[in-house]
Structure 1
Amino acid sequence: MSLELFAHPFSSYCQKVLIALWADGTPFDYRMLDEEHAENFAELKRRWPFGKFPLLVDDGETVVESTPIIEHLQARHPGPNRWIPDGEQGRRARFLDRFFDTYVMGNMQKAGLDILRPEGCKDPYGASQARADLNLAYDWLEANLSEGSWAAGDEFTLADCAAAPSLFYADWVEEIGPSRPRLAAYRARVLAHPVVARAVDEGRPYRQYFPLGAPDRD
């Protein structure tokens, strides 16, 4: 088996895949994407011209996007965790994976990254709407989170891999706050998971890159 992951430790979607790899104890080569490893960026662009990451190479086969990568790992390199369980829980995990990526992470990025746009290209209306939609997502999660320990029940799944970095960064942009105790408790619980805590710690040296400034509370 030869797995290579092209990733950066501060990237939310890279953290999502790293959580799955570390939790399963799956061996892989970490192809760091930073200014000191230009050759890794060149290989990333050669394999995926959009230049987006994470990107997994499995014995020469390229797999892109975080969710398909985790699905690939479960199918080709299964470990002790069932990222997509059978039946209803699996369908719930898939749905919540999309919810966290789209309605939490997607809106966090729109609101948080607008500051990086060049002058004359900023979108204050879009950023404001993204904050409103992020709060709407928080309210939905507060009302609909599983009664179990994790997002889709009592099993740590694909949904939690997506939730951990999504809620971690989203709370920096728009705080969950005390009015959503179930969601706040879930965020604290998932961030305390050993492999999630590792992902957070490995991204810690890069916090100066967060556009709005990273708070000291995490």
Structure 2
Amino acid sequence: MSDLILYSHPFSSYCQKAIVAFYEKALPFTQRMLEDEGAMGELKAAWPFGQFPVLKDGARHFAETSIIIERLDQISPDIPMIPTDPDLALETRFMDRVFDNHVQAHQQRIIYNALRPEADRDPLIATEAKARLETAYAWLDGVMSGRTWAAGEVFTLADCGAAPGLLYAHWTHPIPKDLTHLWAYRRRLLARPSYARALDEARPYRNYFPLGAPDED
């Protein structure tokens, strides 16, 4: 196995998603911090969109976090992040899409809007994104009423993304307190050793959060 290099930043939710998978597998890797201009230049040479994380595995590069984690399963299959059972694998991929497209995407719309100069902010973006988050929260509360983890009783790819997704989503637009099943799931994610480690590594960068990071997490 070649040395694995992850171009990433500890505070990025999508980077945390990949890092959790590394920690779940106890798979060694080198992190190229994207505060380093040289690292960002290397990333853009391989992936001109400039989005991160990007995994370098020998001469190959892998972008998009879910694909990176699938690659880690190929490298280290003993602790799969995508179950081998076809039905569980499909549910895992589905829930992964839910957290990326219906939680993280709307949370980030609010953040990107907040980062604009005040005169350029669009209040409709925030209103629409918050409504979408509320729909996602309510739906997830029902789903998680009968599950320990996102796809059932095994920690998977979907949970790797759910952990930072729900962390930052609540910071951005609070999860209602009456959604007790979703709150219990969020607490389990924060207590998972792999994510607790990633979360601690991100703490020095909390001042980057434009809406103000709460003390509770």
Shorter chain as normaliser: what TM range? over 0.9
Cα distance, 1:166 vs structure 2: 0.2
Q: Which residue of 2 aligns with 1:122?
A: 121
Q: Which residue of 1 aligns with 2:81?
A: 83
1:81 and 1:156 in contact (8 A); partners too: no
Secondary structure of the 1:162 match is: helix
Please list, as runs of the form range in 1=range in 2, the aligned pairs for 1:1-218 lying within 5 A after superposition. 1-34=2-35, 37-75=36-74, 77-85=75-83, 86-145=85-144, 147-218=146-217
TM-score, normalised on structure 1?
Answer: 0.95
Encode CA deviations 1:30-73: one digit per residue, 9 max, x unaligned.
Answer: 11111xx2110110111111111000000010100100000111
Secondary structure of the 1:145 match is: helix
Two-structure CA RMSD over aligned residues (Å): 1.1
Secondary structure of the 1:149 match is: coil
Secondary structure of the 1:63 match is: strand
2:115 and 2:210 in contact (8 A); partners too: yes
Encode CA deviations 1:170-206: one digit per residue, 9 max, x unaligned.
Answer: 0101111221000000000111000100111100000
1:107 and 1:131 in contact (8 A); partners too: yes
Distance in 2 between residues matched to 1:17 and 1:191, nearest whole Å: 16
Encode CA deviations 1:123-162: one digit per residue, 9 max, x unaligned.
Answer: 2101110001001000000112262321111100001001
Letter of the 1:123 counterpart: D
Distance in 1 between residues matched to 2:42 and 2:29, nearest whole Å: 17
Secondary structure of the 1:50 match is: coil
Q: Which runs of 5+ in 2 are unaligned?
A: none
Deviates more, 1:146-155 or 1:186-195: 146-155
Distance in 1 between residues matched to 2:78 and 2:159, nearest whole Å: 15
Cα distance, 1:80 vs structure 2: 3.4
1:146 and 1:152 in contact (8 A); partners too: no
Cα distance, 1:8 vs structure 2: 0.2
Letter of the 1:33 counterpart: L
Distance in 2 between residues matched to 1:2 and 1:162, nearest whole Å: 24
Distance in 2 between residues matched to 1:50 and 1:133, nearest whole Å: 26
2:8 and 2:32 in contact (8 A); partners too: yes
1:145 and 1:152 in contact (8 A); partners too: no
TM-score, normalised on structure 2?
Answer: 0.96
Q: Which runs of 5+ in 1 are unaligned?
A: none
Size of the alignment, in residue pairs? Answer: 215
Distance in 1 between residues matched to 2:27 and 2:173, nearest whole Å: 34
Q: Identity, % of aligned pairs?
A: 48
